[in-house]
Structure 1
Amino acid sequence: MSRALFRRQRRTTPWLALGGMSGFALLALGFAHPPVSTLDAELGQALFAWRDGALAQACVALARLFDGLGHAPVQAAWVVLIAVLLASLGGDRPAAGVLVMAMLGQWGVNQLGKTLIDRPRPQLDPQLYTVGASFPSGHAMSATVLYGFLLLWLWPRCRPGLRPWLALAAIGWIAAQALARPLLGAHYLSDVLAGVALGLACLAPAHAWLTQRDSHAFA
Structure 2
Amino acid sequence: MLHGYGPALALAAAFALVAALIQLPAVQAWDVRMSETLAGRAPQGVLAAAKAVTELGSTKVFAGVLAMAGGALLLRRRYPDAGLLVASLLGGWGLNTLLKELFRRARPAGEHLVEASGYSFPSGNAMLAIAVYGLLGCWLWRAVGCRAYVIWLTGALTAAVGFSRVLLGVHYPLDIAAGYLAGGAWLALLVRWPGLTRRARS
Structure 1 position 102 matched with structure 2 position 88: yes
Residue number among 113, 123, 127 corresponding to 2:109 in the alignment: 123
- Distance change (3 Å), C-alpha of 1:195 and 1:212: same
- Distance change (3 Å), C-alpha of 1:49 and 1:71: closer
2:197 alignment counterpart: 212
Do the aligned residues in 2 keep the contact of 1:36 with 1:190 (CA within 8 Å)?
no
Residue number among 14, 21, 24 corresponding to 2:5 in the alignment: 14
Moved more, 203-212 or 173-182: 203-212
Residue number among 162, 178, 194 corresponding to 1:178 in the alignment: 162
Do the aligned residues in 2 keep the contact of 1:141 with 1:199 (CA within 8 Å)?
yes
1:27 alignment counterpart: 18
* 1:1-219 paired onto structure 2 within 5 Å: 13-48=4-39, 50-51=41-42, 56-88=43-75, 91-125=77-111, 128-159=114-145, 162-209=146-193, 210-215=195-200, 219=202
Structure 2 unaligned residues grouped into runs of 5+? none
What displacement does 1:20 show?
1.6
State the secondary structure of the residue aligned to 1:136.
coil
- Distance change (3 Å), C-alpha of 1:150 and 1:74: closer
State the secondary structure of the residue aligned to 2:5.
helix
Do the aligned residues in 1 keep the contact of 2:40 with 2:168 (CA within 8 Å)?
no
| Large movers: runs of 4+ above 2 Å | 48-51, 85-88, 90-93, 126-129, 210-213
Pairwise CA RMSD? 2.0
- Distance change (3 Å), C-alpha of 1:60 and 1:125: same
Looking at secondary structure, tell me which structure has more helix per residue.
Answer: 1
Structure 1 unaligned residues grouped into runs of 5+? 1-10
What displacement does 1:87 show?
2.9
TM-score of the two chains, using structure 2 as the length reference: 0.90
Task: Output the CA distance in 2 between the equivalents of 1:150 and 1:67.
Answer: 18
- Distance change (3 Å), C-alpha of 1:186 and 1:94: same
Encode CA deviations 1:33-68: one digit per residue, 9 max, x unaligned: 2543232111111113623xxxx2222111111212
Task: Give 1 or 2 for the bigger CA radius of gyration.
Answer: 1
TM-score of the two chains, using structure 1 as the length reference: 0.84
State the secondary structure of the residue aligned to 1:208.
coil
